[in-house]
Amino acid sequence: MQIADIDFCGPGDLASLIAIESACFKTPWATPMIEYDLNNPGPAIYMKAVMKGVTVGYGVLSMSETASHLMNLAVLPEFRMRCVALQLMSAFDELSRLRGCDRMRLEVRSSNVVARKFYASLGFVYSCREKAYYADGEDGIVLVSRLPLKIEYRMRPDDFDKHIQTPSRG
């Protein structure tokens, strides 16, 4: 894993979020909608993951009294499999529980095997299928999890080699 700075987004993040959307989705979220949300903080909470000054991922969460709803999550392709999404989900998990939520839900494309595996690793389970949930007609799978999520950071041997130096003796 690599440690990312997780922070709330503001109006200055628009360009980075649009770049992530177009790199990650065939039907990206509409720019005016993201721009409106960033300029008018409301129920949709935008958080970003930054590594060495580059915004490499972001997510969007909304919360009701008892449940939170993950509305979006994306990491730039070249920064995947480094626990960036895991760190964003950890922040959303904490925010949700601070607000008194005891569960989280989300929708994912039925064909999105990678994301479904990712969410399963956090403890999400199948709830139901939403027919033609997406604009192109694809079904959405609704997943739910109790909170806290199963957040487990795992270091790989190459992380160790890259980031941790064994102190030399003498």
Ligand X SMILES: CC(C)(COP(=O)(O)OP(=O)(O)OC[C@H]1O[C@@H](n2cnc3c(N)ncnc32)[C@H](O)[C@@H]1OP(=O)(O)O)[C@@H](O)C(=O)NCCC(=O)NCCS
List residues binding ligand X (CB under 6 A).
24, 73-75, 80-86, 108, 112, 114-115, 117-118, 121, 154
Q: Which is nearer to ligand X, 37 or 124 (CB)?
A: 124
- Give the nearest distance from C-beta 102 to ligand X in angstroms: 21
Q: Which is nearer to ligand X, 157 or 165 (CB)?
A: 157
- Give the nearest distance from C-beta 33 to ligand X in angstroms: 16
The full 3-state SS of the chain, as one line of letters, equals CCCCEEEECCHHHHHHHHHHHHHHCCCCCCHHHHHHHHHCCCCCEEEEEEECCEEEEEEEEEECCCEEEEEEEEECHHHCCCCHHHHHHHHHHHHHHHCCCCEEEEEEECCCHHHHHHHHHCCCEEEEEECCCCCCCCCEEEEEEECCCCCCCCCCHHHHHHHCCCCCCC
- Give the nearest distance from C-beta 153 to ligand X in angstroms: 8
Q: Which is nearer to ligand X, 24 or 142 (CB)?
A: 24
